[in-house]
Amino acid sequence: MCISPKNPFLVRSARPGSLILPKPRSPANSVRFHRVAAVAAARATAIDLSDPEWKLKYQRDFEERFNIPHITDAFPDAEAIPSTFCLKMRSPTYINNKDRVLLKVINYSSPASAGAVCIDPDCTWIEQWVQRAGPRENIYFRPEDVKAAIVTCGGLCPGLNDVIRLIVITLEIYGVKNIVGIPFGYRGFSDKNLPEILKVVQNIHLSGGSLLGVSRGGPTVTEIVDSMEERGINMLFVLGGNGTHAGANAIHNECVKRRMKVAVVGVPKTIDNDILHMDKTFGFDTAVEEAQRAINSAYIEAHSAYHGIGVVKLMGRSSGFIAMQASLASGQVDICLIPEVPFNFHGPDGVLKHLNYLIETKGSAVVCVAEGAGQSFLENTNAKDASGNKVLGDIGVHIQQETKKYFKEIGVAADVKYIDPTYMIRAVRANASDGILCTVLGQNAVHGAFAGYSGITVGIINNHYAYLPIPEVIAYDKSVDPNSRMWHRCLTSTGQPDFL
């Protein structure tokens, strides 16, 4: 077996002497983000490496890209007042607006270093700083004038209730009395039969799901902002993934266009962990932990059967983070398949041949596959869900069927069991580590809004909390780097070959 890094540094050169960027992964379902990605890439590729000043220019460009929009951009005379965020025990320490968090902490000495993402062929180190999150000494909203709304969109994810709870609690500490929940995602802005939700949030984190409900699809941005104007909402907290954030950014832009003094702040919710620049998004840790149960069940089934093969499909439309981490954590997986790494089923190096080898040598096998893997083997229906996401074929069922067929053909007994735990995983409550993450994200979302920022999202970066402009985190979907140490660790743990 040989794990050979075929492409040592997953970069593309836009033109000779110009910037080398990490290759934007553009799965079929993210067509709507191409414009944002193109804008981000176009700005970066404008840097000419033959210019002796290119580093400085790159840094300036980076600072501009990661500068977070502020109420004073549209309202230069907006009044700042001393913060009303005061804890009972002691005065809080504040974050200075000039505080920064370092985005990249590894100084790669060569593009051939595992996982290296380089700006130029020499892999030059350039400091990239982003805004530190937290409470500011001055705020741009009077609590008594605030009507805050919270909305949760997209699919379920452990921790939604934890974030809702902390947003409400923190708003109350600032002195806000008028706090509402928008029911069933963006849909709640347009559906007249869905009244705003006013509920006690104290213990909502004890159960999974979303107190407010979620949905895909829904009204246009114009309709949402019309509704916000009608309701007098001037702080909007949006919990959701890349689609939701694209919506949140469009809402922010529309508010600026209409000269509405509104703070729109996102909290990234994606169980798939596919939002850029962050260590992880909330719910991911819990998902990996909960996935252990499914993998363990598949292992027990496979191990207890004569020639048993357990197949587990985990979430991950375009990114195999859950499958990779769950496989690594379990130590029970023999084959891990993710969308980022191509593979063959059939042929001398294919998955089926290796399964036969495992049955011959170990007597059983466990396969863990991410839902977006191997889509080229399945029929493309071109179907889309209400949000415009591509409806994927079921790779788990396909593996089950192909495996049964293959072993029948070669005349070897095989007992194949398939588990899809997706909706069981998504519905659980957040574990302790996600509970803490949600708490800090929820608090920081409110601090960001009171500080006057809008069109931003909050995330954990190198264990510190930061505010980022929305377009930068959704420019394309974050994915597993097949040349990363983590993927190689996963391969070391499963012992699987290349399958190509």
Ligand X SMILES: O=P(O)(O)OC[C@H]1O[C@](O)(COP(=O)(O)O)[C@@H](O)[C@@H]1O
As annotated, the active-site residues are 272
The binder of 219, among Mg ion, ligand X, ligand ADP, none, by C-beta within 5 to 8 A per type, is: none
Query: Helix, strand, or coil here: 324?
Result: helix
C-beta neighbour count of 123 within 10 angstroms: 19
Which residue is it, tokens 């788990």? 396
How far, CA to CA in Å, does 241 sit from each of 101, 160, 477?
A: 23, 12, 10
The binder of 32, among Mg ion, ligand X, ligand ADP, none, by C-beta within 5 to 8 A per type, is: ligand ADP
The binder of 272, among Mg ion, ligand ADP, ligand X, none, by C-beta within 5 to 8 A per type, is: ligand X
Six token digits for residue 374: 């191997």
**Which of 32, 34, 293, 464 is in the footprint of ligand ADP by CB under 6 A?**
32
> What residues have CB less than 8 Å from 493, skipping those under 6 apart?
327, 328, 331, 333
Answer yes or no: are the C-beta atoms of 425 and 290 closer than 8 Å.
Answer: yes
Whole-angstrom distance, CA of residue 276 vs CA of residue 479: 9
Q: Site map for ligand ADP, 165-204, x if CB under 6 A? A: --------------------xx------------------
Q: Examine residue 242 and tell whether it contacts ligand ADP (CB under 6 A).
A: yes
> What residues have CB less than 8 Å from 188, skipping those under 6 apart?
151, 182, 194, 196, 212, 213, 215
Q: Site map for ligand X, 374-413, x if CB under 6 A? A: -----------x----------------------------
Residue 127 vs 223, nearer CB to ligand ADP: 223
Residue 427 vs 486, nearer CB to ligand X: 427
Whole-angstrom distance, CA of residue 181 vs CA of residue 440: 20
Answer yes or no: are the C-beta atoms of 95 and 134 closer than 8 Å.
Answer: yes
Least Cβ distance, residue 387 to ligand ADP (angstroms): 3
53 is annotated as contributing to ligand binding: no
425 is annotated as contributing to ligand binding: yes
Least Cβ distance, residue 385 to ligand ADP (angstroms): 7
Q: Site map for Mg ion, 224-243, x if CB under 5 A? A: -----------------xxx
Residue 245 CB-half CA count within 13 A: 28
Answer yes or no: are the C-beta atoms of 358 and 373 closer than 8 Å.
Answer: no
Site for ligand X in 355-374 (CB under 6 A): 371
Residue 233 vs 271, nearer CB to ligand X: 271
Least Cβ distance, residue 483 to ligand ADP (angstroms): 27
95 is annotated as contributing to ligand binding: no
Q: Site map for ligand ADP, 45-84, x if CB under 6 A? A: ----------------------------------------
Whole-angstrom distance, CA of residue 483 vs CA of residue 308: 32
Six token digits for residue 15: 């033109």
The CB-nearest residue to ligand X is 155
Q: Examine residue 268 and tell whether it contacts ligand ADP (CB under 6 A).
A: no
H-run or E-run covering 178: strand 178-182
Least Cβ distance, residue 154 to ligand ADP (angstroms): 2
Least Cβ distance, residue 57 to ligand ADP (angstroms): 30
Site for ligand X in 225-254 (CB under 6 A): 241
Q: Which DSSP string corresponds to 76-124?
A: TTPPPEE-----SSSPPPPPPTT-EEES-----SSTTSTT---SSTT--
Site for ligand ADP in 279-308 (CB under 6 A): none
Answer yes or no: are the C-beta atoms of 494 and 336 closer than 8 Å.
Answer: yes
Which residue is it, tokens 């375009």? 318
Whole-angstrom distance, CA of residue 395 vs CA of residue 377: 8
243 is annotated as contributing to ligand binding: yes
Taking CB under 6 A as the binding criterion, the range among 197-205, 268-276, 338-346, 359-367 that sits at the site for ligand X is: 268-276
Sign of dihedral through CA atoms 25, 31, 37, 39?
Answer: positive
* CA of residue 304 relative to chain centroid, distance: 37
Residue 118 vs 315, nearer CB to ligand X: 315
Q: Examine residue 258 and tell whether it contacts ligand ADP (CB under 6 A).
A: no
**Cα angle at 353 between 350 and 355, to 5 degrees?**
110
Residue 289 vs 371, nearer CB to ligand X: 371
Whole-angstrom distance, CA of residue 231 vs CA of residue 307: 62
260 is annotated as contributing to ligand binding: no
Answer yes or no: are the C-beta atoms of 97 and 136 closer than 8 Å.
Answer: yes
**Which of 216, 313, 354, 447 is in the footprint of ligand ADP by CB under 6 A?**
216
Site for ligand ADP in 371-430 (CB under 6 A): 387, 389
Binding residues vs ligand ADP (CB under 6 A)? 32, 153-155, 185-186, 216-218, 221, 240-244, 246-247, 250, 270, 387, 389
Residues contributing to the annotated binding site for Mg(2+): 242
Which amino acids are annotated as binding site for substrate, given as ranges?
A: 270-272, 315-317, 371, 423-426
- Residues that bind ligand X in the complex, under the rule CB under 6 A: 154-155, 241, 270-272, 315-317, 371, 385, 426
Residues that bind Mg ion (CB under 5 A): 241-243
